């Protein structure tokens, strides 16, 4: 049984991997304070993951949820370890107003009575996330749905 669990864990880890960015392969992670490089990394992540379906608890290109996508993005693109859940990610960094958002900030939404959603701000009111209906995609904070569901933002 223990061997089976280890094999499943190893398979999940290998399925979650993506090609490291050039910055990471050089051993240096991009700084989140460099907004143009952060935006570049987020758009590259979108190109690699666009359309991957949403799957609650998922952590691979077979299916991924919003907090898992945020975790993998920060790990692979910025060399940062984030917690797994939206509730835990909401506790990170410092609060930032919607009008002061910059690339790499986490944006949170209240999508139901107790349901929360997280994405990563890119620029120009656009954010990257794993949507329950369309999978990994870029959406606008000005979209009528997201505008009314917006909750808070955090800067790491």
pLDDT class of 143 with cuts at 50, 70, 90 = very high
pLDDT at 3 over 80: no
- Which one has a higher pLDDT value, 34 or 1? 34
Percent of the chain with pLDDT over 90: 78
Looking at per-residue pLDDT, the higher value among 24 and 58 belongs to 58
pLDDT tens track for 79-107: 999 999 999 999 999 999 999 999 999 99
Domains annotated on the chain, with CATH: 30-155 (3.90.1720.10)
Q: How far apart are CA 101 and CA 36, in angstroms?
A: 14
- Which tokens belong to 154? 């955090």
User: Which pLDDT score is estimated for 145?
Assistant: 97
pLDDT score of 152 more than 50: yes
pLDDT mean across residues, the chain: 85
The per-residue pLDDT for range 22-41, each reduced to its tens digit, is: 334 445 567 788 899 999 99
pLDDT at 72 over 60: yes
Instruction: Say how far residue 135 (Cα) sits from the centre of its chain.
Output: 12
- Predicted confidence at residue 34, as pLDDT, reads 87
**Any idea which residues carry the catalytic annotation?**
66, 117, 129
């Amino acid at each position: 049984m223990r061997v089976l669990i280890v094999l499943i864990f190893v398979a999940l880890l290998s399925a979650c991997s993506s090609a490291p960015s050039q910055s990471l392969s050089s051993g240096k992670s991009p700084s989140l304070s460099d907004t143009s490089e952060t935006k570049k990394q987020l758009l590259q992540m979108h190109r690699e993951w666009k359309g991957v379906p949403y799957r609650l608890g998922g952590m691979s290109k077979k299916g991924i949820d919003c907090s898992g996508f945020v975790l993998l993005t920060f790990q692979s693109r910025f060399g940062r370890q984030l917690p797994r859940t939206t509730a835990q990610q909401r506790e990170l960094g410092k609060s930032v107003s919607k009008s002061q958002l910059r690339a790499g900030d986490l944006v949170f939404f209240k999508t139901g009575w107790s349901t929360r959603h997280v994405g990563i701000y890119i620029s120009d009111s656009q954010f990257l996330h794993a949507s329950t209906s369309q999978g990994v995609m870029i959406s606008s904070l000005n979209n009528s749905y997201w505008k009314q569901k917006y909750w808070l933002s955090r800067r790491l």
